[in-house]
Amino acid sequence: MATQLKEDFTEATRWRRRPRPTFAWLAQVTSGVLLLVLLTVHMVAQHFVVEGGLRTYADVVAWIRNPVVFAVEALLLICVTWHGVAGVHAVLLDLGLRGRAERIVARVLGDIAVATVLYGLWLLYMIAFRG
Amino acid sequence: MSTQRTVLLKVFRFGPDDAAPRYDQFRVPAGPRTTVLDALLAVRRLKDPSLTVRHSCLHGSCGTCGMRVNGREVLACVTRIEELGDPVVVEPLAGAAVAGDLVVDMEHVYRRLEPVGRPLVRASERAGKKDGTADAGPVLEDLERFEDCIECGLCLSACPVAGDPRFLGPAALAAAERVLEEPRGADPRAVLGLVDDAHGAWRCHTAFECSAVCPAGVDPGEAIMRLRGRLLRDRLPRLVGRYHREVRP
Amino acid sequence: MTQASRQGARPQRRRPRWLDPRGRHLGTWAFVANRLTGLGLVAYLYLHLVLLSTLLRGPEAWDGLVELFRRPVFLAFDLLLVAGLAFHGLNGLRVALVGSGLLVDRHRALLVAAAILVGLVVVVAAVRILA
């Protein structure tokens, strides 16, 4: 027999119209997989190749001036900020964040993420071009 | 002439006249086959008849006596005291309004299950056959098979997320997966729309606590992941631009 | 909200379920560990950005910091960081697979595999860092 589904949940059109939850999952998975690669590269190249593990000031500047390194570090920054802030949002949701507070926090987290990326990119630029 | 073994129960109490919950301690007799439910009924019989407990079948198939014992969700009627140590802490299911002591309002389970609309009977499996031959033994009628879920609510209590009333939760999501597996006239698109939500299948954190505590073999965790696989297989073509693809149930 | 639909039903004190460790199984432990390492890594991200900002103050400031970080207590912290990163990354990969409907019935085996790999990574990192 045909089953009845409540109107407020049925909304078959919702299925077509809103990819956001699936997109959020895919973004987290994609950024996570990218981070596995990028962070490994970052850790090895930054700390396990150099004698003593840490570069001096001059070495850092020379390293960051390499365009491939610059690009990788920038991509790493974007991925880690996205992944991390999305993760914090999930944690806050599970701590009971709801309603208006949830919307405000989501907006604030978004702003923090943007600010973080902008700051990091600016820092990269300053080291590479003004070092 | 051996001294009877006893067990100390620390039982959650919260009645309509109480300002706040408390834990009462009761020491009751306990043998090798005594279950938690036996011990609670002994408390009612011997110590405090006001202790509120709910049960029905006494053999783990109705799902009525779900509660937390030492923090873990179990059916009290099939949980043996001797496996638990001493004292035994008994509390009601988490995340549900307490009607009295260990009895909770199960509305939070039903209001999630109802919109999914999964029937009680599994159409794809039947047992037994009408035997037309003249035979000495009894003839098995064509038996219907119920769905596994006994709607006990253990999964919802155990789930690290299900305290959020917006989250559909393991039982409803597993039920949705069953509906997609066997639509039986239901609209698969509606069910997919129901679960494709930040508080639907995507809110699960793969803790699998639901599957660990389910007494009926539903394995809601695995069902939720299968649901997510379905959603991805149907969503991904849309995300890369094929917006008119038919939804595969 | 938890409304009493029957007269007399009283809401329980709301505590986030993932913070109650009693009676929980392996999958929940993996989830909690992923969450805690994730939060730790987000905190580290911002700490790292702050420390990297030292580069803006020139070679003396940065090279001084590098000397500081060669001390054993910081090396130990680095090892902890690598362990946390390895766990979050490898268990995260497991979550990405299982949470997308792949290898679901193997989720415990995947956790064991992840744990073994984390151990290997930590050993390799320890050898490299302490050398």
In chain B, CATH 3.10.20.30 covers 6-104
Residue A9 has a pLDDT of 45
Q: Evaluate whether the domain defined by B107-126+140-239 bears CATH number 1.10.1060.10.
A: yes
Q: Does any domain span residue A26?
A: yes
Interface with B, mutate which of A1, A7, A9 (most B CBs under 10 A) = A9
Amino acid in position B85: G
Q: Evaluate whether the domain defined by B6-104 bears CATH number 3.40.50.2300.
A: no
Q: Does B172 touch chain A (CB under 8 A)?
A: no
> In the structure encoding, which two tokens stand for residue B87, read together?
């004292």
Q: Does A9 touch chain B (CB under 8 A)?
A: yes
Q: Does any domain span residue A28?
A: yes
Identify the residue whose tokens are 């990969």.
Answer: C93
Chain B hits for A11, CB-CB cut-off 8 Å, are 190, 193
Residue C7 has a pLDDT of 61
Band (A99; pLDDT cuts 50, 70, 90): confident
Residue A54 has a pLDDT of 83
Interface with C, mutate which of A36, A48, A117 (most C CBs under 10 A) = A36
Using CA atoms, how far apart are residues B51 and B162, in angstroms rounded to an integer?
Answer: 27
Instruction: For residue B138, give how far its alpha carbon lies from the nearest alpha carbon of chain A (Å).
Output: 32
Q: Does any domain span residue A48?
A: yes
State if pTM tops 0.90: no
Determine which of B158-162, B243-247, C39-43 has the lowest per-residue pLDDT on average.
Answer: B243-247
Instruction: For residue C117, give how far its alpha carbon lies from the nearest alpha carbon of chain A (Å).
Output: 13
Using CA atoms, how far apart are residues B42 and B24, in angstroms rounded to an integer?
Answer: 14
C110-115 long-range contacts, CB within 8 A, separation 24+: C111/C26, C111/C27, C111/C30, C114/C87, C114/C90, C115/C87
**Complex confidence, ipTM:** 0.87
Q: What is the CATH number of the domain that holds A58?
A: 1.20.1300
Using CA atoms, how far apart are residues B111 and B168, in angstroms rounded to an integer?
Answer: 9
Q: What is the number of other CB atoms lying within 10 angstroms of the CB of residue B216? A: 18
Interface with B, mutate which of A7, A18, A22, A94 (most B CBs under 10 A) = A22
Which class would CATH give C25-130?
mainly alpha
pLDDT tens-digit series, residues A45-90: 887 777 777 888 888 999 999 999 999 999 999 999 999 999 999 9
Q: Does A44 touch chain C (CB under 8 A)?
A: no
Residue B134 has a pLDDT of 52
Chain C hits for B97, CB-CB cut-off 8 Å, are 2-5, 9-12
Number of domains, chain A:
1
Cβ atoms of residues B96 and B73 within 8 Å: no
pLDDT tens-digit series, residues B183-242: 888 888 889 888 988 899 999 999 999 999 999 999 999 999 999 999 998 877 766 655
Task: Tell if the CB–CB gap between A60 and C62 is shorter than 8 Å.
Answer: yes
pLDDT tens-digit series, residues B102-160: 999 999 999 999 989 888 888 777 665 555 555 545 555 667 788 899 999 999 999 99
Chain B hits for C107, CB-CB cut-off 8 Å, are 206, 208, 221
Residue A51 has a pLDDT of 72
Q: How far is CA B143 from CA A1, B125, B127, B140, in A?
A: 19, 9, 5, 8
Q: Which chains touch C (3 or more CB pairs under 8 A)?
A: A, B
pLDDT tens-digit series, residues C73-96: 998 999 999 999 999 999 999 999
Q: Does any domain span residue A10?
A: no
pLDDT at residue A15 tops 80: no
> In the structure encoding, which two tokens stand for residue B242, read together?
């094929």
Instruction: For residue C99, give how far its alpha carbon lies from the nearest alpha carbon of chain B (Å).
Output: 6
Read off φ and ψ for residue A127, nearest 5 degrees: -70, -45
Sequential DSSP letters for chain B: -PPPPEEEEEEEE--TT-SS-EEEEEEEE--TT-BHHHHHHHHHHHT-TT-----SSSSSSS-TTEEEETTEEEEGGG-BGGGT-SSEEEEPPTTS-EEETTEE-THHHHHHHHHH---SEEEEEEE-----S--SSPPPP-EEEE-S-----HHHHH-SSTTSTTS-HHHHHHHHHHHHHS-TT--HHHHHHHHSSTTTGGG--S--HHHHH-TTS--HHHHHHHHHHHHHHHHHHHHTT-TTPPPP-
Cβ atoms of residues B164 and A93 within 8 Å: yes
pLDDT at residue B246 tops 70: no
- For chain C, the structural domain boundaries read 25-130
Task: Tell if the CB–CB gap between B117 and A25 is shorter than 8 Å.
Answer: no
Q: Which chains touch B (3 or more CB pairs under 8 A)?
A: A, C
Name which of B226, B3, A87 is nearest C36 in CA terms: A87
Task: Tell if the CB–CB gap between C59 and A58 is shorter than 8 Å.
Answer: yes
pLDDT at residue B173 tops 80: yes
**In this complex, how many residue pairs, one in chain A and one in chain B, have their CB atoms less than 8 Å apart?**
84
Chain B hits for C27, CB-CB cut-off 8 Å, are 206-209, 211-212, 221
pLDDT tens-digit series, residues B5-28: 899 999 999 998 888 999 999 999
Determine which of B56-70, B138-152, C39-53, C86-100 has the lowest per-residue pLDDT on average.
Answer: B138-152
Question: Using alpha carbons only, how large is chain A's radius of gyration in Å?
Answer: 21
Residue B205 has a pLDDT of 95
